[in-house]
Amino acid sequence: MRKFPLLLVLFYTLSTVSAQDRKSLLQRINEIKSQSDIYYWDRFTHENADTAKVNATKRLLLDVNNTRDEKDAFSVEEIMPHATYIHIDRGNLTQYFVYISKSYVASMNKGGAQPSTSIVSAPIVSSPATSSPVVSTSAVSAPAVALQKAFVPDAFVQRVMGTGKFMDVIKLLKSMQAQGQILQFGKLRDVEDYSSLDLILFDMQSQDIVTMLSPIGTSGSRTNVVNGAEDSLDNYPTNMTAVIWYIKK
């Protein structure tokens, strides 16, 4: 007869601890985001955890390599062991928040980076019972990444990706259209054939940009203009992704 009340007490205690850990970790994320003069940071959301982590790193590298010569640019596999990752499970999607100290990056040697001093933060995962994030104690392991030359997106892509949220991107595109930088843009459902159109993909839940894709080329596939890899709209679930097309001048 006494087991049920004891279980309630235990559940309440564990929930309180998890909530405190979650609050502390989310405060840390907000602190990092508010100190852009000290840290490089970025994030990426995808249904595949490895894809989310790698692409979060690639987005981070846009800032890290922005002022570096091409020969001095860091690649994904060079920066990953030295960055700190926070894993957030949002239902069917996984988000990685990644950051690294600017001073640490400045002290790293190209091709022979110093030993990592960063600590992998405990990931945040969603509790199946409540769908609220709780802290997980499992370690975050870096996926194997093939050696590759760093890809640098053009200025237009960097500007759009840096805007972040869906409505902010819409405002930016309207401004660009008024200035004659783009000819037209709209929702994917408004056109029958979008094979020749550039696309911007958003996470429906967070409203963040997921990535940007080129028109379909002669190879029959699109190019991810954020990381330079071959990609396809089919790689992104339609029930999780919102898409905007645009035509550059």
- pLDDT tens by residue, 31-66: 888 888 888 988 888 888 888 889 889 989 888 888
Share of the chain above pLDDT 90, in %: 13
Going by pLDDT thresholds of 50, 70 and 90, the confidence category of residue 243 is very high
Q: Which two tokens stand for residue 60?
A: 């981070």
A 10 A CB-CB count for 245 gives 19
Mean pLDDT of all residues belonging to the chain: 75
Q: Can you give the pLDDT at residue 94?
A: 81
pTM score of the predicted model: 0.45
Q: Can you give the pLDDT at residue 206?
A: 84
Going by pLDDT thresholds of 50, 70 and 90, the confidence category of residue 16 is very low
**Got the DSSP string for 198-245?**
EEEEEETTT-BEEEEEPPP-TTSSEEBTTT--EE-GGGS-TTTEEEEE
Which residue, 27, 48, 28, 135, is CA-closest to 93? Answer: 48
CA angle 53, 57, 60 (to 5 degrees): 140
- pLDDT tens by residue, 168-184: 999 999 999 999 889 99
Decide: 185 and 248 in contact? Cβ < 8 Å.
no
Q: Which two tokens stand for residue 13?
A: 């205690």
Q: Which element (helix H / strand E) includes 192?
A: none
How do 182-187 and 241-248 pair as beta strands?
antiparallel
Q: Can you give the pLDDT at residue 149?
A: 54
Decide: 161 and 124 in contact? Cβ < 8 Å.
no
- pLDDT tens by residue, 88-123: 776 677 878 899 988 888 888 665 445 443 434 344
